[in-house]
Chain A
Amino acid sequence: MPINYIYSEYEIVRNSDRCINCRACENQCANEAHYFAEGSENTLCDDSKCVNCHRCVSLCPTHALKIIKNGNTYKDNANWSDRTINELYRQASSGGVLLSGMGNPENYPVYFDKLLLNASQVTNPSIDPLREPMETKVSLGSRPGEIERDEKGCIKNNLPPQLSLSMPVMFSAMSYGSISYNAHESLARAAQELGILYNTGEGGLHEDFYKYGGNTIVQIASGRFGVHPQYLSSGAAIEIKMGQGAKPGIGGHLPGTKIVGDVSRTRMIPEGCDAISPAPHHDIYSIEDLRQLVYSLKEVTEYKKPVIVKIAAVHNVSAIASGIARSGADIIAIDGFRGGTGAAPTRIRDNVGIPIELALASVDQRLRDEGIRGNVSVVIGGSVRSSADIVKAVALGADCVYIGTAALLALGCHLCRTCHSGKCNWGIATQMPTLTKRMNPDIGYKRLVNLLTAWKHEIKEMMGGMGINSIESLKGNRLMLRGVGLNEKELEILGIKHAGG
């Protein structure tokens, strides 16, 4: 008998008047929280196995199930929360590092929720997107300093390669391996239909998906899994992943249990072998090394692909971004501390990095102060949850946003934050064939298209309200933002005024 029995955080409540013992819940739960004992009259459950993913709740034909937070509690303590105590007990018994999935759930400020948008009144007409053109198209890439003309005086097209997107959104890096084949297919097809891009993450590109190359960003990270010349040339852009918002400063670890079949082939590593990405790139110990990798990749791809450098939002992010902007990168991607992950040490996820809104504001201003903001594009991610977040991010200075968690939610994810278990009941963050088949890419891609189509409408409505009919005119337009409940310092960093001012 352990001295620190940890009561389950959630409790499965079954309405026995409704339950028909069809055992659907039992079949659906990979965690085996539900069971039907022979000879018993009722389906039973083991709360301790429940991760609160809502698969059973959603599929129960008689709506007999619900999951509630259980009321069991330690003695109230504002300093020692139940969660803190339980985590301590776990570590005391296991000696291990705590692991978590998805983004930082802790109660830090969400600055997007403290920003409010403007609208036109009297002096300037709002524009109705149903009647007038409303442009959301963006181009990402670097720009030359000067224009050039031919002998006849015509402007020569001296632009480096650009990424053209129908709206300022891309699907952020999620590797094949961390998520399933079907999830990847959904993202790729949706990106193609929407005229945007998705990102392979550090897992290589499955041979079936080369056909979506025009809508694919291929990533190269510290483990270099799945990287070869054809891979680099097959996408629309190459992303060097230096860091990730969910776990700045550390690498990645895909357990051997997920390295099966095609995942192993695509990553170019043996089956069952853990895929460990080192914390740093071992050929990049400083900024001058980064420059060499950027140009190595450009050489391999004959300067036809823009290179993105992705970093986590950390304390001196603006100085780092400035260095990257001068290192040949065409696009800088910044990932905030709320960004998701398949697995991260809990303490890292919950305590390292800074909010993306502040990182974005300071990077954008720093690059402007140095006069180089126009040379590169800036993409941000790390919990962009809605079209309003996108509009606010663009007004703060982003060219485009990455969405990861939001896309997974559209695919069925219920944010149970146990991706690291590999037993995703929704068929997303798993490689178990019985589970992956639950995610139908024909439906999945359509739901992603629906989500972003809806967001695009909303973005247009908000822009029209502000009297802006092109997204370029929203970019960095901080007068369109006001803060609520922010202190002077926060307003200064965000470069905005307080509401009413």
Chain B
Amino acid sequence: MQQEGQVRIPSGCAISGVLDKTGRRMSGETIIKSISVMHDRSNGLGGGFAAYGIYPEYKDYYAMHIFYNSVQTKRNCEEFLEKHFDIINLSKIPTRKVKEITDEPLIWRYFVAPMPTKLSESQLNEREFVAKCVFRVNTQIEGAYVFSSGKNMGVFKAVGYPEDVGRFYRLEEYEGYCFTAHGRYPTNTPGWWGGAHPFALLDYSVVHNGEISSYDANRRAIEMHGYKCTLLTDTEVITYIVDYLHRKKGLGFDEIASVVAAPFWQTIKSMPPKEREIHEYLRVMFSEQLITGPFSILVGFEGGMMALNDRLKLRSMVVGESGDTVYVASEEAAIRIIQPGLDRIWAPKGGQPVIVCLNGGGE
């Protein structure tokens, strides 16, 4: 049977996210509680979390979370890392034994900074250098997989139900200002930890519920720009699109939403002239990054989070607000369980992004 990455596996899912705009840090317990309510939306074949603001003591270093399938692989990868980075700290990622989670790979964490000589030699900016190194490891070092590579953030994922994955990674011991979570319902057995969500590159992380019909158009287009889709999942390609549009093309998240869930031409036609011109421009300029088919996504980034539905809203997604905290989930119940007293709750329209940033910053 083919492994994930050799074959494209569609999946349905549950997503949940929470962000405190004041930057106050909360425990990972909250998000576990939220996602566990939607147990039936996943089937035990993948769960995971992205947590922002969890490494304040190492906030200037890239936190690499890496899966290894053998000690030898680890040695090969560390050799590569040592050549390209100053490794400030390295350790096993703390886990606890949970009977539902089995077959775990070696899971390691490194706080790193690019080696100055290597960086200047490469003629790349720092983030591009790091991204290129991540691709190098993931495509060239057999059995090693970098699944998190941002600053002051981390991804934790595994094969299993999300609540079990949370306990496995002792997520309650982390404190962050933003968490996103994912429970996966693939229609095939992937059996591989890297295939779980969130998918992340640098500080961008994506959790996604849906199956996009534009997949191969998006994949073939993004691969022209130096990305290599190794997993063949929607989430992977969406993450690369976000990275490409935000980091490489300098689009804001509102503009990114207008590209990936572009307004229909008939809507654009009725816009005021200036707005119309910009939307027409974005659709023509970035037509290959339009995503069709059902999706609800949560994009995490440094200092903020964006929730977005496909333009027909073919997947459920609700947003709640209570004071300075914003909640997003596939189902309202997943929000109510952690915050019964909401000031406001609504279902954003298809293609209408909800972008929340830390007060006084973000993006």
Contacts and interface: CB of A to CB of B under 8 A. Distances in A.
Interface of A: 120, 122-125, 127, 132-133, 135, 137, 139, 143-144, 146-147, 149, 154-155, 157, 159, 162, 368, 371, 373-374, 466-470, 472-480
B215 A374 contact: no
A281 to B, nearest CB: 31
B287 A472 contact: yes
A501 to B, nearest CB: 10
A125 B294 contact: yes
Nearest to A478: B216
Given A473-B214, A475-B217, A480-B216, A155 B278 contact: yes
Contacts of B288: 374, 472, 475-476
Interface residues of B, number: 43
Contact of B224 (A132, A154, A368): A368
A143 B285 contact: yes
A159 B285 contact: yes
A477 B214 contact: yes
Nearest to B187: A123
Interface string B302-337: 000000000110100000000000000000000000
B188 to A, nearest CB: 10
A368 B228 CA distance: 13
Contacts of B283: 139, 472
A157 B213 contact: no
Nearest to A122: B187
A466 B10 contact: no
Given A125-B294, A135-B264, A137-B265, A474 B10 contact: no
A154 B254 CA distance: 13
A135 B278 contact: no
A470 B293 CA distance: 10
Given A473-B290, A478-B216, 17 more contacts: A123-B187, A137-B265, A143-B285, A146-B249, A147-B249, A159-B285, A368-B220, A468-B293, A469-B292, A472-B283, A473-B214, A473-B217, A473-B291, A476-B216, A476-B221, A477-B220, A479-B216
A477 B251 CA distance: 25
Contacts of B210: 124
Contact of B284 (A139, A149, A154, A466): A139
A156 B218 CA distance: 25
16 contacts: A120-B213, A123-B211, A124-B10, A124-B210, A125-B314, A127-B312, A135-B265, A137-B265, A144-B285, A146-B249, A368-B224, A371-B224, A466-B213, A470-B292, A475-B217, A476-B216
Given A159-B284, A475-B288, A468 B264 contact: no
A362 to B, nearest CB: 14
Given A155-B281, A157-B281, A473-B217, A139 B287 contact: yes
B277 interface: yes
A472 B217 contact: yes
Interface of B: 8, 10-12, 187, 210-211, 213-218, 220-221, 223-225, 249-251, 255, 262, 264-266, 277-278, 281-285, 287-288, 290-294, 311-312, 314
B218, B277, B290 — most chain A CB neighbours (10 Å)? B290
A132 B267 CA distance: 13
B213 A478 contact: no
Given A137-B265, A368-B223, A469 B284 contact: no
A146 B12 CA distance: 35
B290 to A, nearest CB: 5
Contact of B214 (A154, A159, A162, A468): A468
B262 to A, nearest CB: 8
B264 A133 contact: yes
B286 to A, nearest CB: 9
A467 B285 contact: no
A183 B214 CA distance: 39
B215 A477 contact: yes
B281 A133 contact: no
Nearest to B287: A472
Nearest to B289: A472
B8, B211, B216, B283 — most chain A CB neighbours (10 Å)? B216
A73 B224 CA distance: 56
Contact of B294 (A124, A466, A477): A124
B224 A467 contact: no
A374 B221 contact: yes
Nearest to A138: B287
A147 B225 contact: no
Contacts of A157: 277, 281
A467 B292 contact: yes
A474 B311 CA distance: 16
A154 B278 contact: yes
A473 B294 contact: no
Given A157-B277, A478-B220, A473 B265 contact: no
A472 B314 CA distance: 19
B223 to A, nearest CB: 7
A467 B215 CA distance: 11
Contacts of B187: 122-123
A360 to B, nearest CB: 14
A479 B8 contact: yes
Contacts of B11: 123
A479 B290 contact: no
Given A469-B292, A472-B287, A124 B213 contact: yes
A465 to B, nearest CB: 10
Contact of A133 (B216, B220, B266, B314): B266
Contacts of B225: 371
Nearest to B214: A473
A468 B287 contact: no
A427 B277 CA distance: 45
B36 to A, nearest CB: 24
